[in-house]
C-alpha cells in the first residue's frame, strides 16, 4: 500500500475543502458576524492540507485499486472531522459528537440535523451546512460515475460492466474529463436554480442555500420549517431540481447534448418517473379515501408529489407535516426511503436500477418454474445482464437490509423505542435525514444519546458509500500484501 500517495491525495482534497470553507467568510463579513471561529477552522484545515501535501511528496503517482478504496473510504471521515470545526469554533454546538454528526450528515447529504433552531445560527454556518452537502453530492456523482466503476463495484457497474444504456457510454473516455463534465453540469444546474429562485422573490442567500441543498439531495434548509412556509413557486422550483438530483448525471448530460432518443430508452429513468407517478397517485387516493374530499386540489397534488420526490431522491425537505397523513400514506413514504433514485445521481439508498434487477429476476425465477427448459435472460435497456452483476445486486441488497436491521437493533439498546429506532436506522443508511416517531415527524436529533449519534454517522457513511467501499476496509485480506 502506497500510504504516501494516499496521504498526499487526502492533503490535496483537504485543501479543496479549505478553499470552499473560506467562501463562508463572505456571508460572515457581509452580515457583520464574528468570523474568528471560521478563520480558525480555515487556518487549521489549510495547515493540515499543506503539511500532508508537502510531507508526503512522491513522484510515483499511479494509484492501484486498494489505494483507491482507502482514499474513498477515509476521505469522507476526514472531511467530516474538518467540517465539524466551524460548528465547534463558532460555539454553534457545545460538543464534538454533535458537530461531527452535523458534519457527516452534511457530507453524506443525509440532512439530519442536531439544531432545534436553525434560524438563530450565524449565516456563515448556515452556508457551511449547505456547502458541505453540495461538496458531498458532487463527490458522490463523480465517485459513482467515474471512479467506483473502475474498481468494479456499485450501482453504476450495471452500466459500465454490462455496456448498455447511455450511462455506460462514458461521456468521455478519460475519467478526468468525465469528472469535469459532470462538475460543469452540477455547477450549471446550481447556478440555474439560484437564478430561478431569485426570480421568485427569494433573497440571494436563501436561494443559494436552497440550491446547494436540493441539487445535492441534502435537505438542509435555512428555516426551521424546511420549505413549508415558502411560496408555491419556490416549492415547485425546489421540487424540479430535487427531481433532477435523482437523475443519472450521465443521462442528464446526454439530454443536454440533445441525445434524447438514448435518454428516452433508459429503463431506470422510465422506472424513476413511473415510481413518482404511481406512488403519488396511490397516496392521493389513500388521502382521498380517508378524508373524503380535498379543500384545495392543487395544494394536495403539490404537497404529495413534493414529498414523494423528497423521500425518493433521499433529499429530506419537508413541505407539510407528513405525520398527520393516514398511516398507509406514511408507510408509503417509509418504503420509499429504501428506494432511492437513479444510479449516478446524488441520491442515496438502494437505487431504482437495483430494485429493477431484483424484481425482474424474481419474475424470471417464477417464469422458470413454469417453463423449466426455457433459457431466460434478464435484460436492462434491452441488453443482457450477467449472473455476476445480478449476484452483486443481491449481495448489496442483503447487506443493506442486514445493516439497517442491526442498526435499528443497536439503537434500541441505546434506549430508543421501536418506532424511532427503525426510522432512525432507515433515515441514516438511506441518507434521507427525516423520519417518523410514534408521536410525529423525526426532524432533529439533539436529544439523542452520543452513542446513537455516532452509530447513525457510521450508518450514514456506510449507506452513502454503497456499503462495500466501507466493508472492504474492515476485511483483514484488504490489508494483506
Partner 1 sequence: MRTKILLSVALALGIASLVLLILNAADQKTITILLVVGLVCVSVEYFASKKDSKGNEE
Chain contacts with partner 1 (rule: CB under 8 A):
12, 15, 18-19, 22, 25, 29, 34-36, 39-40, 42-44, 46-47, 49-51, 53-54, 57
C-alpha cell at 163: 455496456
Cα 207 to Cα 192: distance, rounded to the nearest angstrom: 10
Minimum Å gap between C-beta 70 and partner 1 is 22
What is the SS3 assignment for 78?
helix
> Can you give the three-state secondary structure of 131-146, one letter per residue?
HHHHHHHHHHHHHHHH
Least spacing, CB of residue 105 vs partner 1, in Å = 26
Largest CA distance in the chain: 75
Residue 322's SS3 state is helix
Collapse the DSSP code of 437 into the 3-class scheme (helix H, G, I; strand E, B; otherwise coil) and give the result: strand
Nearest to 313 by CA among 215, 230, 397, 229: 215
Smallest distance from the beta carbon of 404 to partner 1, in angstroms? 40
Residue number, 6 or 318, with CB nearest to partner 1: 6
Burial class of residue 63 (count of CB atoms within 10 Å of its CB; 0-12, 13-18, 19+): middle
Please say which residue, 22 or 390, places its beta carbon nearer to partner 1: 22
Q: What are phi and psi of 442, to 5 degrees?
A: -105, 100
Tell me how far, at minimum, the Cβ of 267 lies from partner 1, in Å. 38
CB of 22 to partner 1, least distance (A): 6
Least Cβ distance, residue 54 to partner 1 (angstroms)? 5
Nearer to partner 1, 46 or 200 (CB): 46
**What minimum distance in Å lies between the beta carbon of 130 and partner 1?**
20
Buried/exposed code over 422-439 (b: 16+ C-beta within 10 A; e: otherwise): bbbbbbbbbbbbbbbeee
87 vs 311 by CB, closer to partner 1:
87
- Cβ closer to partner 1: 42 or 350? 42
Residue 468, sorted as left (phi over 0), alpha (psi -120 to 50) or beta, turns out to be alpha
50 vs 471 by CB, closer to partner 1: 50
User: By C-beta, is 15 or 198 nearer to partner 1?
Assistant: 15
Q: Can you list the positions of beta strands (E) in 186-321?
A: none
Which residue lies nearer to partner 1 by CB, 173 or 292? 173
Neighbour-count burial for 276-315, b at 16+ CB within 10 Å, e otherwise? beebbeebbebbeeeeeeeeeeeebebbbbbbbbbbbbbb
**Closest separation between CB of residue 154 and partner 1, Å?**
27
CA distance 453 to 131: 21
CA-wise closest residue to 473 among 145, 66, 158? 66
Amino acid at each position: 500500500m502506497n500510504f504516501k500517495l494516499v496521504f498526499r491525495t487526502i492533503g490535496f482534497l483537504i485543501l479543496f475543502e479549505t478553499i470552499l470553507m473560506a467562501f463562508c467568510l463572505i456571508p460572515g463579513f457581509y452580515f457583520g458576524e464574528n468570523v474568528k471561529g471560521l478563520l480558525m477552522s480555515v487556518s487549521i484545515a489549510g495547515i493540515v492540507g499543506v503539511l500532508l501535501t508537502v510531507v508526503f511528496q512522491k513522484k510515483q503517482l499511479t494509484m492501484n485499486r486498494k489505494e483507491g478504496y482507502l482514499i474513498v473510504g477515509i476521505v469522507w471521515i476526514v472531511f467530516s472531522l474538518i467540517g465539524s470545526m466551524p460548528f465547534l469554533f463558532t460555539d454553534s454546538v457545545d460538543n464534538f459528537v454533535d458537530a461531527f454528526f452535523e458534519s457527516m450528515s452534511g457530507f453524506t447529504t443525509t440532512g439530519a440535523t442536531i439544531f432545534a433552531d436553525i434560524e438563530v445560527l450565524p449565516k456563515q454556518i448556515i452556508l457551511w451546512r449547505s456547502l458541505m452537502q453540495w461538496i458531498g453530492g458532487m463527490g458522490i456523482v463523480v465517485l459513482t460515475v467515474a471512479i467506483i466503476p473502475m474498481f468494479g463495484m456499485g450501482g453504476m457497474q450495471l452500466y459500465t460492466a454490462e455496456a448498455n444504456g447511455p450511462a455506460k457510454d462514458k461521456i468521455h473516455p478519460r475519467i478526468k474529463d468525465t469528472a469535469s463534465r459532470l462538475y460543469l453540469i452540477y455547477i450549471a444546474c446550481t447556478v440555474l436554480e439560484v437564478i430561478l429562485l431569485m426570480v421568485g422573490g427569494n433573497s440571494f442567500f436563501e436561494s443559494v442555500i436552497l440550491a446547494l441543498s436540493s441539487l445535492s439531495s441534502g435537505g438542509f434548509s435555512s428555516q426551521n420549517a424546511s420549505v413549508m412556509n415558502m411560496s408555491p413557486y419556490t416549492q415547485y422550483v425546489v421540487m424540479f431540481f430535487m427531481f433532477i438530483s435523482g437523475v443519472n448525471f450521465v443521462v442528464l448530460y446526454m439530454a443536454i447534448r440533445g441525445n434524447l432518443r438514448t435518454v428516452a430508452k433508459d429503463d431506470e429513468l422510465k422506472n424513476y418517473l413511473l415510481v413518482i407517478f404511481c406512488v403519488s397517485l396511490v397516496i392521493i387516493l389513500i388521502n382521498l379515501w380517508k378524508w373524503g374530499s380535498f379543500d384545495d386540489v392543487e395544494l394536495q397534488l403539490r404537497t404529495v408529489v413534493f414529498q414523494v420526490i423528497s423521500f425518493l431522491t433521499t433529499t429530506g425537505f419537508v413541505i407539510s407535516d407528513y405525520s398527520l397523513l393516514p398511516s398507509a400514506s406514511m408507510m408509503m413514504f417509509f418504503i420509499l426511503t429504501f428506494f432511492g433514485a437513479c444510479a449516478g445521481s446524488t441520491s442515496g439508498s438502494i437505487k431504482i436500477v437495483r430494485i429493477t434487477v431484483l424484481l425482474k429476476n424474481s419474475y424470471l425465477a417464477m417464469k422458470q418454474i413454469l417453463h423449466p427448459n426455457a433459457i431466460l435472460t434478464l435484460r436492462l435497456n434491452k441488453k443482457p445482464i450477467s449472473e455476476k452483476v445480478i449476484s452483486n445486486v443481491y449481495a448489496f441488497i442483503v447487506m443493506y437490509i442486514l445493516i439497517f436491521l442491526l442498526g435499528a437493533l443497536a439503537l434500541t439498546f441505546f434506549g430508543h423505542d421501536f418506532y424511532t429506532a427503525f426510522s432512525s436506522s432507515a433515515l441514516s443508511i438511506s441518507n434521507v435525514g427525516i423520519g417518523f416517531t410514534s408521536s410525529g415527524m423525526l426532524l432533529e436529533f439533539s436529544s439523542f444519546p452520543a452513542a446513537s449519534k455516532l452509530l447513525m454517522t457510521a450508518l450514514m457513511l456506510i449507506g452513502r458509500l454503497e456499503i462495500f467501499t466501507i466493508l472492504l476496509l474492515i476485511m483483514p485480506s484488504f490489508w494483506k500484501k
